[in-house]
Structure 1
Amino acid sequence: MPRFAANLSMMFTEVPFMERFAAAAQAGFQAVEFLFPYDYPPATIREQLDKYGLTLALFNTSPGEVNAGEWGRSVLPGREQEAREDIDLALEYALALGCEQVHVMAGVVPQDADPEACRATFISNLRYAAERFAPHGKRVLVEALSPGVKPGYLFASQYQALAIVDEVDRANVFLQLDTFHAQKVDGNLSHLIREYAGRYVHVQVASLPDRNEPDDGEINYPWLFQLFDAVGYRGWIGCEYHPRTTTAAGLGWLAAWR
């Protein structure tokens, strides 16, 4: 049976962030994820997780200067110190929050940069992250982002992400399989899910093309959820979607999987 985590950066936005933990628990979720925790002290978030019996399934390293076009700094040659400070801070939060894995954001390749140099920089920073996280038994994740959502991101295809994981060659580095991005770029989700089972340790879902609840559009999620079970996937499935109206009104799809 699939296990779902509410994405608190996109869901339950009807209430302030710190009230979303209660809302997720009341809606029946046992886990949550979000983009970034860094606006809050770890103890404040931990209090909410503990109060409502929630597992934190995932969060990201810092995006950097978003207003300057950054979406992660690990891709930027010459910015290794900042990228590694982001990684160290993420590890600090992961330890405090009991989170087993962190998505290390690569970033947007600057227009005047050498893409291969950026890729090499990201691989070096991923190895640093893997070696920092490994003594604590924690995983480092890599996620491909589709160009329509994040133009210029270092990689868009699941196969590019898998090639990076292979080149990093660390036992605690895995793929984060976002089916919304994967369908937009690669398609053939059933092949990805079957062929690379064991290579991904976190999944995220949303409808296509609108990125709403996973109950409409071109992806047959009930069939995919059964396929994840069939291949032995036991990780969380993050609900990284924008509700069509209110979050609660759109949760009818979840009833069949409780």
Structure 2
Amino acid sequence: MRIAANISMLFTELALPQRFAAAREAGFDGVEIQFPYEHEAEALAAAARAAGMPVVLINVPAGDLAAGDVGLGALPGRRAEFRAAVARCIPYARALGVRRVNVLAGRPGPAADPAACHAALVGNLRHAAECLAPSGIRVMVEPVNPHDVPGFFLDRLAPAVRAVREAGHPGLGVQFDLYHMARTEPDLGAAIAEAGGLIGHVQFADTPGRHEPFTGGIDFAGALAALARAGYADWLAAEYRPAGRTQDGLGWLPRLRAAIQGAGSGNSRSSAM
């Protein structure tokens, strides 16, 4: 397993193009970006190449963030907007060389029909996978805990697994964030086993504050061992809120690398598409 920095949340003291080099200097192996769309794709790709940092994942546009949107995937009345978001994502994903993109289900509202939302999500996931598979890109969908994002449609693991299975496309997977899952699942190791081979990307932060690993309640050694047992051997992305300056809080990196070695992840399967 290799460790990426989510440069939408880390190194925010710097402009986004400068964060690639900062992540490399800090010892990360790659980066991910939540929403790169305020920058030219080629400019970001050039910054990534100059720093020697692969970009491993971006999100499909999630609607109007300023208006409170947190995704479009499960919103039945906005399917055309979702398709336009996928179309906007594709040239960025290609330019940046990502092999994973993440779809956010969104917040349908209390009056929405859950069955209609689920059907919209299944159809939208299948559409995104069909559009991105020719470029060798796998589509993720992410469950998000309802404490941080009240009303989010995929508020635990089981409905995300169900949606991926019902969509029935080999280019789909679950984005498994240890932070979110530790807040919603009774047993993190059991949740990893439940998702199993559907796990296509992993993110992490510690609970309860979503800060650096080894500052809260998550058993990272146990989680890494469970991921290894599930056969996961791909990227682990640091998506946390730094307690201070990012550079001042990176003492966890060697400790996490040691835990990865201890988990025996080198014998696991790769989740590459």
Q: TM-score range by the shorter chain?
A: over 0.9
Specify the alignment match of 2:235 in structure 1.
236
1:1-258 maps to which residues of 2 (within 5 A)?
2-256=1-255, 257=257
Q: Which moved more, 1:57-66 or 1:202-211?
A: 57-66
Divergent runs of 4+, >6 A? none
- Report the number of matched residues: 257
Deviations 1:97-151 (A, max 9, x none): 1100100111111233222212211211111111111222210101001111111
Q: Secondary structure at the match of 1:197?
A: helix
Q: Structure 1-normalised TM-score?
A: 0.95
**One-letter code aligned to 1:26:** E
Counterpart-to-counterpart distance in 2, 1:217 and 1:73: 32
**One-letter code aligned to 1:88:** A
Counterpart-to-counterpart distance in 1, 2:47 and 2:186: 38
Aligned-residue offset at 1:95: 1.0
Q: Secondary structure at the match of 2:196?
A: coil
Q: Structure 2-normalised TM-score?
A: 0.90
77 and 232 in structure 1: CA distance in 2 versus 1, 3 angstrom threshold: closer
Q: Answer whether contact 1:101 1:140 (CA < 8 A) is retained.
A: yes
Q: Which moved more, 1:104-113 or 1:172-181?
A: 104-113
The answer for unaligned runs of 5 or more in structure 1 is none
Aligned-residue offset at 1:225: 2.5
Aligned-residue offset at 1:72: 1.4
Counterpart-to-counterpart distance in 1, 2:144 and 2:80: 24
Counterpart-to-counterpart distance in 2, 1:73 and 1:161: 15
Higher RCO (CA < 8 A, seq sep 6+): 1
CA-atom RMSD, angstroms?
1.5
Q: Answer whether contact 2:185 2:191 (CA < 8 A) is retained.
A: no
Q: Answer whether contact 2:69 2:106 (CA < 8 A) is retained.
A: yes
Identity %: 38
